Amino acid sequence: MVPSSSSILSILLVLLLSPFIVSHALQDSFLKCLSRTSESSFPFSTVLYTPNNSSFTSVLQSSAQNLRFTLPAVPKPEFIFTPLQESHIQAVVICSKQLGIHLRVRSGGHDFEALSYVSEIESPFILVDLAKFRSISVDIEHNSAWVQTGSTNGELYYRISEKSKIHGFPAGTCTSLGMGGHISGGAYGAMLRKYGLAVDNVVDAHIIDVHGRLLDRKAMGEDLFWAIRGGAGGSFGIVTAWKVKLVPVPSAVTVFTVTKTLEQGATELLYRWQQIADQLDEDLFIRVQIQTANVSSQGKRTITTSYNAMFLGDANRLLQVMKHSFPELGLTRQDCIETNWINSTVYMSGFANNTPPEVLLQRINMDRAYFKGKSDYARKPIPEKALEGLWEKLFEAESPLVVFTPYGGMMNQISESQTPFPHRNGTKFMILYWSSWQDATENVAKHINWTRKVYSYMTPYVSKNPREAYANYRDLDLGMNRNSKTSFVEASAFGTNYFKDNFYRLVHVKTKVDPDNFFRHEQSIPPLPQQMGLRNEVEFISSKAYLDHYSHKS
Ligand SMILES: Cc1cc2nc3c(=O)[nH]c(=O)nc-3n(C[C@H](O)[C@H](O)[C@H](O)COP(=O)(O)OP(=O)(O)OC[C@H]3O[C@@H](n4cnc5c(N)ncnc54)[C@H](O)[C@@H]3O)c2cc1C
Ligand SMILES: *[C@@H]1O[C@H](CO)[C@@H](O)[C@H](O)[C@H]1NC(C)=O
Ligand SMILES: *[C@@H]1O[C@H](CO)[C@@H](O)[C@H](O)[C@H]1NC(C)=O
Ligand SMILES: *[C@@H]1O[C@H](CO)[C@@H](O)[C@H](O)[C@H]1NC(C)=O
Ligand SMILES: *[C@@H]1O[C@H](CO)[C@@H](O)[C@H](O)[C@H]1NC(C)=O
Ligand SMILES: *[C@@H]1O[C@H](CO)[C@@H](O)[C@H](O)[C@H]1NC(C)=O
Ligand SMILES: *[C@@H]1O[C@H](CO)[C@@H](O)[C@H](O)[C@H]1NC(C)=O
For ligand 4, say whether the CB of 299 is within 6 Å of any of its atoms: yes
Amino acid identity of residue 178, one-letter, is G
- Chain Cα centroid distance, residue 389: 29
Q: pLDDT value at position 554?
A: 40
pLDDT tops 70 at residue 545: no
Q: pLDDT value at position 537?
A: 47
For 545, the enclosing helix (H) or strand (E) is: helix 544-553
Q: Which atom of ligand 7 is nearest to the CA of 448?
A: 1
- Separation of alpha carbons 433 and 435, rounded Å: 7
Residue 139's closest CA among 123, 163, 119? 163
- Separation of alpha carbons 337 and 335, rounded Å: 7
342 CA from centroid of ligand 4 (Å): 35
* SS3 at position 535: helix
Domain range 253-338+369-461, CATH architecture: 3-Layer(aba) Sandwich (3.40)
Sequence-ordered list of residues with C-beta below 8 angstroms from that of 162, at least 6 positions apart, any chain: 138
* SS3 at position 357: helix
How would you list the strands of the sheet with 429-437, edge to edge?
A: 337-339, 253-261, 301-311, 284-294, 400-406, 429-437, 370-378
Q: Which fold has domain 136-248?
A: 3.30.465
Nearest CA to ligand 7 atom 3: 449
Range(s) within the chain of domains with CATH label 3.40.462.20:
253-338+369-461
Nearest CA to ligand 4 atom 7: 299
Residue 235's closest CA among 478, 541, 517? 517
pLDDT tops 50 at residue 533: no
Mean pLDDT across 26-30: 92
For the ranges 84-93, 200-209, 359-368, the lowest mean pLDDT is seen at: 359-368
Mean pLDDT across 530-545: 47
For 311, the enclosing helix (H) or strand (E) is: strand 301-311
Which 3-state string (H, E, C) describes 160-173? HHHHCCCEECCCCC
For the ranges 362-366, 369-373, 402-406, 430-434, the lowest mean pLDDT is seen at: 362-366
- Separation of alpha carbons 451 and 376, rounded Å: 12
Residue 484's closest CA among 57, 65, 175, 120? 120
Mean pLDDT across 416-434: 98
Does the bond joining 170 to the residue before it have cis omega, within 30 degrees of 0? Answer: no
- Per the DSSP assignment, residues forming a β-bridge with 167 are 248
The DSSP 8-state label assigned to residue 528 in this structure reads P
Q: pLDDT value at position 11?
A: 54
Percent with pLDDT over 70 in the chain: 91
128 CA from centroid of ligand 3 (Å): 17
447 CA from centroid of ligand 7 (Å): 10
pLDDT tops 80 at residue 9: no
Percent with pLDDT over 90 in the chain: 85
Ligand located closest to 49 CA: 3
Q: In terms of C-beta density within 10 A (0-12 exposed, 13-18 middle, 19 or more buried), how is residue 134 classed?
A: middle
Nearest CA to ligand 2 atom 9: 24
CA 85-91-94 angle, 5° bins: 150
- Separation of alpha carbons 188 and 348, rounded Å: 13
Concatenated DSSP letters for 230-281?
Answer: TS-TTSS-EEEEEEEE-EE--S-EEEEEEEEEGGGTHHHHHHHHHHHTTTS-
Hey, which residues are catalytic here? 473
Sequence-ordered list of residues with C-beta below 8 angstroms from that of 350, at least 6 positions apart, any chain: 174, 366, 367
Residue 344's closest CA among 278, 253, 424? 253
Mean pLDDT for the chain overall: 92
Nearest CA to ligand 3 atom 12: 53
pLDDT: which is higher, 217 or 24 = 217
Q: For residue 118, what pLDDT band results from cuts at 50, 70 and 90? A: very high
Residue 393's closest CA among 374, 367, 369, 380? 374
Q: Which fold has domain 18-129?
A: 3.30.43
For ligand 1, say whether the CB of 105 is within 6 Å of any of its atoms: yes
Neighbouring CB atoms inside 10 A of 449's CB total 13
Mean pLDDT across 186-214: 98
Q: For residue 298, what pLDDT band results from cuts at 50, 70 and 90? A: confident
Sequence-ordered list of residues with C-beta below 8 angstroms from that of 94, at least 6 positions apart, any chain: 33, 37, 211, 212
- Separation of alpha carbons 136 and 336, rounded Å: 32
43 CA from centroid of ligand 2 (Å): 17
pLDDT tops 60 at residue 21: no
314 CA from centroid of ligand 3 (Å): 52
Write out pLDDT tens, residues 321-367. Answer: 999 999 999 999 999 999 999 999 999 999 998 999 999 999 877 77
- CA dihedral 168→172→175→178, nearest 10 degrees, is -110
Mutual orientation of helices 384-395 and 266-276 as an angle, nearest 10°? 120
- Separation of alpha carbons 269 and 273, rounded Å: 6
For ligand 5, say whether the CB of 354 is within 6 Å of any of its atoms: yes
Q: pLDDT value at position 548?
A: 53
For ligand 5, say whether the CB of 254 is within 6 Å of any of its atoms: no
Residue 168's closest CA among 86, 76, 249, 231? 249
- Give the mutation target among 44, 45, 46, 132 for probing the ligand 3 site: most ligand atoms within 8 A of CB: 46
219: left (phi over 0), alpha (psi -120 to 50) or beta: alpha
Q: pLDDT value at position 12?
A: 52
Range(s) within the chain of domains with CATH label 3.30.465.10:
136-248
Concatenated DSSP letters for 476-489?
Answer: GGG----SSS--HH
pLDDT tops 70 at residue 530: no
Write out pLDDT tens, residues 133-189. Answer: 999 999 999 999 999 999 999 999 999 999 999 999 999 999 999 999 999 999 999
- Separation of alpha carbons 334 and 90, rounded Å: 54
Mean pLDDT across 505-520: 95
Q: pLDDT value at position 528?
A: 86
pLDDT: which is higher, 20 or 269 = 269
For ligand 5, say whether the CB of 250 is within 6 Å of any of its atoms: no
Range(s) within the chain of domains with CATH label 3.30.43.10:
18-129
* SS3 at position 39: coil
For ligand 5, say whether the CB of 340 is within 6 Å of any of its atoms: yes
Concatenated DSSP letters for 390-413?
Answer: HHHHHHTSSSEEEEEEE--THHHH
24 CA from centroid of ligand 2 (Å): 8
Q: For residue 1, what pLDDT band results from cuts at 50, 70 and 90? A: very low
Q: Which atom of ligand 5 is nearest to the CA of 354?
A: 5
Q: pLDDT value at position 484?
A: 73
Nearest CA to ligand 6 atom 1: 425
- Per the DSSP assignment, residues forming a β-bridge with 238 are 208
Distinct helix (H) and strand (E) counts, the chain: 17, 18
Asked if 106 and 129 touch (Cβ cutoff 8 Å), the reply is yes
pTM above 0.85, yes or no: yes
Q: How far apart are the first and last CA of the chain?
A: 62
For ligand 4, say whether the CB of 294 is within 6 Å of any of its atoms: yes
pLDDT tops 60 at residue 301: yes
The DSSP 8-state label assigned to residue 132 in this structure reads G
Nearest CA to ligand 2 atom 5: 52
